[in-house]
């Protein structure tokens, strides 16, 4: 297909998605059809992952990151540059913006939305971010808010899974972490997977179980969601040997006196290379592993990096085109 006809197709899909001017605060702000249409658009945009298609000329994206980030901020900024748009960024607003002078988040969003056509924000406090969002005159994308949700991480991981298998329905996915209370990517991903018909298993400590709000939503989708608590490293590896994918949302480990005890618990959710290798050889079946990154030492065997199971670096490339698709849809390009 020539570029001009590809651009026509891109614009037609953007219209079909019908998400112009909408904010993405939760993965549930998108319908299943919209998610699949975004996948289609992401695939069409993949050829421009490393070049530029001038669809967003004259539009400005603001990235406001109140917490550190490598992937989310840089891939959104890359996506906007690849679409030919411009970016204004605050990577440390508590130091370098007037938030340091106690300007409220609501005022900041009112002001920044006068400059930017779209805002991508990461914030440490989900309640504060959710209350301030309506003050923005431009659509807002949640780039990770508190412990609540990180919907575009889920979108890119779902897209990676879709590009790997060509489907999501029926896949068996284990979302595993020593702490699923604070796993905002896990919350968004589990809901996205369940909605698209995957069989989801949540493996964690009973004391750090997935929040009830998320479990209630998972229940409402009518998909079978299984919870596995307090596994040992042996039983965890036995569990994942039956999966199509292991999803590691990571977790923030405590510092100080609790650090050693937590490390022992984390060790129970360690993905062994031998587990994946055995299934590959005995059953000729690949168990894919993805981690939202950044990862910590002791979460998985690093030999997985060079195996066919590794999806976490593949996801980085996919993140640009799916975020290009999302920006194009929100801006109605
Ligand atoms: N996965 C993710 O959100 O990474 P960053 O914290 O680097 O953005």
Give, using CA atoms, the residue closest to atom 3 of ligand 1.
72
pLDDT in tens, 178-190: 999 999 999 999 9
Which parts of the chain register pLDDT below 50? none
Measured CA distances, 96 to 91, 123, 192, 276, 285 (Å)? 8, 15, 35, 46, 50
Write down the pLDDT at residue 1.
66
Q: Which atom of ligand 1 is nearest to the CA of 72?
A: 8
E strands, 51-110, where?
60-65, 86-90
* Domains delineated in the chain: 2-150+319-331 (3.40.50.1370), 152-316 (3.40.50.1370)
Please indicate whether residue 188, judged by its CB atom, sits closer than 6 Å to ligand 1.
Answer: no
pLDDT tens for each residue of 241-295:
999 999 999 877 788 888 888 889 999 999 999 999 999 999 999 999 999 999 9
Kindly report the pTM of this predicted structure. Answer: 0.96
pLDDT at position 133 is 98
Q: Is the minimum distance from the CB of 70 to ligand 1 under 6 angstroms?
A: yes
- Hey, which of 249, 250, 294 would you mutate to test ligand 1's pocket, going by the most ligand atoms within 8 Å of its Cβ? 294
pLDDT at 137: 98
pLDDT at position 222, please? Answer: 77
Q: Answer yes or no: is the C-beta of 252 below 6 A from any ligand 1 atom.
A: no
Measured in degrees and rounded to the nearest 5, phi and psi for residue 285 equal -130, 135
Nearest to 112 by CA among 90, 84, 141, 131: 90
The preferred substitution site among 65, 71, 177 for testing ligand 1, maximizing ligand atoms within 8 Å of CB, is: 71
For residue 75, the ligand 1 atom closest to its alpha carbon is: 8
Whole-angstrom Cα distance, residue 185 to residue 151? 7
Q: Judge if the beta carbon of residue 69 lies within 6 A of ligand 1.
A: yes
Q: How far is the CA of 253 from the centre of ligand 1 (A)?
A: 16
72 CB less than 6 Å from ligand 1?
Answer: yes
């Amino acid at each position: 297909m020539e570029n001009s006809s590809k651009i026509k197709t891109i614009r037609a899909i953007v219209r079909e998605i019908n998400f112009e001017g909408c904010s993405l605060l939760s993965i549930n702000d998108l319908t299943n059809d919209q998610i699949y249409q975004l996948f289609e658009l992401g695939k069409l945009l993949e050829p421009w992952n490393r070049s530029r298609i001038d669809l967003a000329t004259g539009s400005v994206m603001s990235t406001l990151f109140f917490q550190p980030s490598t992937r989310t901020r840089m891939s959104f900024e890359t996506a906007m540059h690849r679409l030919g748009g411009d970016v204004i960024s605050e990577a440390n607003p508590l130091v370098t913006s007037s938030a340091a002078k106690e300007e409220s988040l609501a005022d900041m969003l009112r002001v920044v939305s006068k400059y930017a056509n779209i805002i991508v924000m990461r914030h440490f406090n989900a309640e504060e971010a959710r209350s301030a969002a309506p003050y923005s005159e431009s659509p807002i994308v949640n780039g990770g808010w508190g412990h609540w949700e990180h919907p575009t991480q889920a979108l890119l991981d779902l897209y990676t899974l879709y590009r790997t298998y060509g489907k999501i329905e029926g896949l068996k996915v284990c979302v595993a972490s020593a702490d699923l209370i604070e796993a905002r990517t896990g919350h968004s991903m589990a809901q996205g997977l369940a909605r698209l018909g995957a069989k989801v298993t949540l493996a964690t400590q009973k004391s750090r179980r997935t929040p009830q709000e998320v479990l209630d939503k998972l229940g409402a989708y009518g998909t079978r969601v299984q919870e596995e608590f307090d596994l040992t490293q042996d039983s965890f590896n036995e569990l994942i040997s039956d999966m199509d994918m292991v999803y590691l949302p990571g977790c923030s480990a405590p510092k100080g006196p609790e650090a050693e005890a937590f490390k022992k618990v984390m060790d129970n959710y360690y993905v062994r290379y031998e587990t994946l290798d055995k299934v590959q050889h005995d059953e000729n079946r690949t168990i894919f592993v993805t981690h939202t990154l950044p990862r910590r030492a002791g979460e998985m065997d690093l030999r997985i990096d060079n195996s066919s199971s590794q999806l976490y670096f593949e996801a980085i490339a996919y993140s640009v085109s799916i975020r290009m698709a999302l920006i194009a849809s929100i801006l109605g390009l």
